[in-house]
Amino acid sequence: MTRTALAMIEAHDGGLKAVTRSLSERALARAALIDAAIARGEDPGPFAGVPFGVKDLFDVEGQSTTAGAAMRRDAPAALRDAEAIGRLQASGAILVATLNMDEFAYGFATINAAFGTTRNPHDPARLAGGSSGGSAAAVAAGMLPLTLGSDTNGSIRVPAGLCGVYGLKPTHGGLPMDGVFPFVDSFDDIGPFATSVGDLRLAWEILGGSAAEAIAAPRVATLGGWFGRNVAPELGQAIAQIGEALGGIPTVELPNVDVARSAAFLMTAVEGGTRHLPELRTRAREFDPQTRDRLIAGALMPGSAYRAAERFRDWFRVQAERLFETHDVLIAPSAGVEAPLIADPMIDIDGARVPARAHLGIHTQPISFIGLPVIAAPMLRPGKLPLGIQLIGRPGAEATLFAIAETLEAAGLTGFAPPEM
């Protein structure tokens, strides 16, 4: 499997730009150890021999962690693997590549000035989404069966939706962040991408996921209001079809979602800008200009604005808790549209044309804002551009989300349809 994955990357990644570094020597050495263990009659683990890749902000021993930035290509090599890599390797999985991303994870498009724009395997003229675009595209293209990404404001869920694969953003703090280059501590999480609910769930369990038992008969609702706007008609129809398949479900609303998104934007800018302030003062010209300008704007934001956003987050979290008193799973779009064209990286929001790089996360940011767990599930659309949904639960409710995802997959409503490459 390892040689096949490396050959697939060699054959296909030149046109996709999903991979930033192939780790062939390390991967083949690890594969030999797995083969030897099997020959001795040992069980290497549930992911024995399965190749995987990681977004290029996970520490890989002996490699510079670029976080998608040209200015970090010569950063000191990591002394050890990130904790998440170690856990997957302990299950028998084999790391074969690091994967492309938006610089410092600040974007929803994986338009990267240093490593190239990651292209969507379903249509290479289109974006893969971001900031974990390389991770999603590598799975969608069949180069790797499993990858890891990170999600701050939608960086797993947006590319999962645009590339037609499954992705998980766990309850905030639910999976190990040790050895992951940070962006916004308030929102950052890691999670896996896969082509099936079963593989996604197994990866989550191996990474350390733990939750209460799944609710036997979960109460499901569709999120309306903000989450019903700026959504492709086909996706709206697909969500309605899911509701019918589940026996008819209500539509509910969260209040002031527009304010929540604005507050999430503000907190992201302030925390990101503050984190990178030393380099902004001394190496500003080495940043991607689009990333640099947003970070500078955040660093200049007054502390009073950040504190106001935190207070609003406390209020907004209470509103979500009230919804979860009567509903266990909420359904919403991941990316509300099909993947935008690379030549015209814009989307329409309320009648205005805006940059996809900053705005593809309009339906994901308010959920990150309060740390809720989400499974991004692809609608089953063979031969068509992908569209996806979010299955959202209360903190710690991943098991219930997986149960609903399995139900929808078994019914043929969601699932991976490989691109016609």
- Indicate the domain borders of the chain: 2-207, 220-373+389-410
58-69 per-position pLDDT tens digit: 999 999 999 999
| Cα 358 to Cα 269: distance, rounded to the nearest angstrom | 12
Which residues fall within 8 angstroms of residue 98, CB to CB, at 6 or more apart?
Answer: 19, 20, 21, 23, 53, 54, 55, 56, 58, 60, 63, 66
Does the predicted TM-score (pTM) go above 0.85? yes
Task: Write the CA distances from 184 to 234, 292, 387, integer angstroms.
Answer: 33, 16, 27
Per-residue model confidence as pLDDT tens digits over 328-376: 999 999 999 999 999 999 999 999 999 999 999 999 999 999 999 999 9
CA dihedral sign, ordered 122, 123, 129, 134: positive
φ/ψ bin of 317: left (φ > 0), alpha (ψ from -120 to 50), beta (otherwise): alpha
Residue 92 and residue 34 in contact, taking contact as beta carbons nearer than 8 Å = yes
Quote the CA–CA distance of 69 and 293 in Å, as a whole number. Answer: 15
Among all chains, which residue has been given the structure tokens 């266990």? 328
Q: How many CB atoms lie within 10 A of CB 257?
A: 22
pLDDT at residue 63, rounded to an integer: 98
User: Are 133 and 102 a contacting pair, CB within 8 Å?
Assistant: yes
**In CATH, what is the architecture of 2-207?**
Alpha-Beta Complex (3.90)
Confidence at residue 420, expressed as pLDDT on a 0 to 100 scale: 83
Region of residue 119 (phi > 0: left; psi between -120 and 50: alpha; otherwise: beta): beta
Q: Would you please indicate which residues are annotated as catalytic (active-site) residues?
A: 55, 131, 155
* Whole-number pLDDT of residue 59: 98
Give me the residues of the chain with pLDDT under 50, please.
none
* pLDDT number for residue 213: 85
Do the two domains 2-207 and 220-373+389-410 of this chain adopt the same fold? yes
Sign of torsion over alpha carbons 49, 402, 379, 376: negative
- Domain 220-373+389-410 matching CATH 3.40.50.10800: the answer reads no
Residues 6+ apart with CB under 8 A from 233: none
For residues 199-213, b (16+ Cβ closer than 10 Å) or e, as one string?
bbbbbbbbbebebee
- 30-53: pLDDT as tens digits: 999 999 999 999 999 999 999 999
Between the CA atoms of 358, 361, 367 and 372, what dihedral angle is there, to the nearest 10 degrees? -100
- Residue 421: what pLDDT? 63
Cβ pair 65, 56 in contact under 8 A? yes
Q: What's residue 113's pLDDT?
A: 94
